[in-house]
Amino acid sequence: MFLEELFSLKGKVVLVTGGGRGIGQVVARGLAKAGAEVAILQRSEPKEAIKEIEDDGNIAYWVKADVSDEKAVDTAIAKIGERSGRIDVVFNNAGICIHKGTLEASISEWRQVIEVNLTGEYIVARSAARVMMEKGIKGSIINMASMSGSIVNIPQWQASYNASKAGVIHMTKSLAIEWADAGIRVNSLSPGYIATPMSTETPQELKDAWLPLMPLHRMGKPEELISAVIYLASDSSTYTTGLDLIVDGGYSLV
């Protein structure tokens, strides 16, 4: 009972971007099990993710938008307002990665990664914070960063991704201070390598190169991020803001 109260999301409406696949799908289901009503924002319809949550007896629905399209995000967030009446938590999770050396990558590929990972999270955070402020909601925004925001991965080159995630970490700290008086907490989550469709598409030779660098000798599972997000989303973290919570099995320490 004590733990249930501490980590409960009952009565909270949670927006999960990219909640239809990978980490977002697994965490969205976990947030719904903790009591939240979940709105999934992404480009394609997340049929399977929504069915899973409904089969558990919980509530989820889709709002369509590309996170880098300000107008589409504002429209999607307005739809959540109409349907659920509020937004308490944002899990700003949608993101992409392009593995290419800097001399081979085009500037448009650089822009694409920065647009989705950094500008997209900024657009979603801003649009949701407006709703929170208008309604006087003491909300929580959790921005998906990565250990790549603090370390440089090897042997694959991904300067745009690393820079976007470093940007997310400092944007998070900046928004945490800017919105502290409004009662909105802003934190980031920095996972290490997590086994998802994004990483299963990764060539085996890359994964073989990562393994000796992993103190726990394995990739993480999306399920191992649920509790970290519930902590940041729930009232158990009301004195935590501006934190970058690293969940990487110790990878970034060695």
Minimum gap (Å) between residue 236 Cβ and ligand NDP: 22
Measured between alpha carbons, how far is 170 from 166 in angstroms, rounded to an integer? 7
Residue 96 or 133 having the CB closest to ligand NDP: 96
Taking CB under 6 A as the criterion, which residues in 116-145 touch ligand NDP? 116, 120, 144
Neighbours of 99 (CB within 10 A): 14
Residue 44 annotated as catalytic: no
Q: Which of 58, 68, 127, 187 binds ligand NDP (CB under 6 A)?
A: 68
Catalytic choice (84, 160, 165, 190): 165
Number of H helices, E strands in the chain: 10, 7
Residue 16 burial (CB < 10 Å; 0-12/13-18/19+)?
A: buried
Measured between alpha carbons, how far is 194 from 170 in angstroms, rounded to an integer? 22
Taking CB under 6 A as the criterion, which residues in 191-250 touch ligand NDP? 191, 193-194, 196-199
Residue 157 or 193 having the CB closest to ligand NDP: 193
Minimum gap (Å) between residue 215 Cβ and ligand NDP: 16
User: Which span sits near ligand NDP by CB under 6 A: 14-22, 52-60, 74-82, 238-246?
Assistant: 14-22
Classify the phi-psi angles of 85: left when phi > 0, otherwise alpha if psi is within -120 to 50, otherwise beta. left
Residue 191 or 249 having the CB closest to ligand NDP: 191
Residue 94 or 186 having the CB closest to ligand NDP: 94
Measured between alpha carbons, how far is 178 from 184 in angstroms, rounded to an integer? 9
Measured between alpha carbons, how far is 14 from 32 in angstroms, rounded to an integer? 9
Residue 175 or 194 having the CB closest to ligand NDP: 194
Q: Residue 167 phi/psi, 5° resolution? A: -60, -40
Instruction: Tell me: does residue 18 bind ligand NDP (CB under 6 A).
Output: yes
Which x/- pattern, by CB under 6 A, does the window 156-175 give for ligand NDP?
A: --------------------
Residues paired with residue 41 on neighbouring β-strands, in sequence order:
17, 63
Residue 207 annotated as catalytic: no
C-alpha dihedral sign at 141, 146, 241, 37: positive
The full 3-state SS of 45-89, as one line of letters, equals CCHHHHHHHHHCCCCEEEEECCCCCHHHHHHHHHHHHHHHCCCCE
Minimum gap (Å) between residue 235 Cβ and ligand NDP: 25
Q: Tokens representing 5?
A: 């109260």
Residue 239 annotated as catalytic: no
Q: Which of 12, 21, 100, 185 binds ligand NDP (CB under 6 A)?
A: 21
Tell me which residues are annotated as active site.
146, 161, 165
Q: Where do contacts with ligand NDP occur on this chain (CB under 6 A)?
A: 17-18, 20-24, 42-44, 66-68, 93-97, 116, 120, 144, 146, 191, 193-194, 196-199
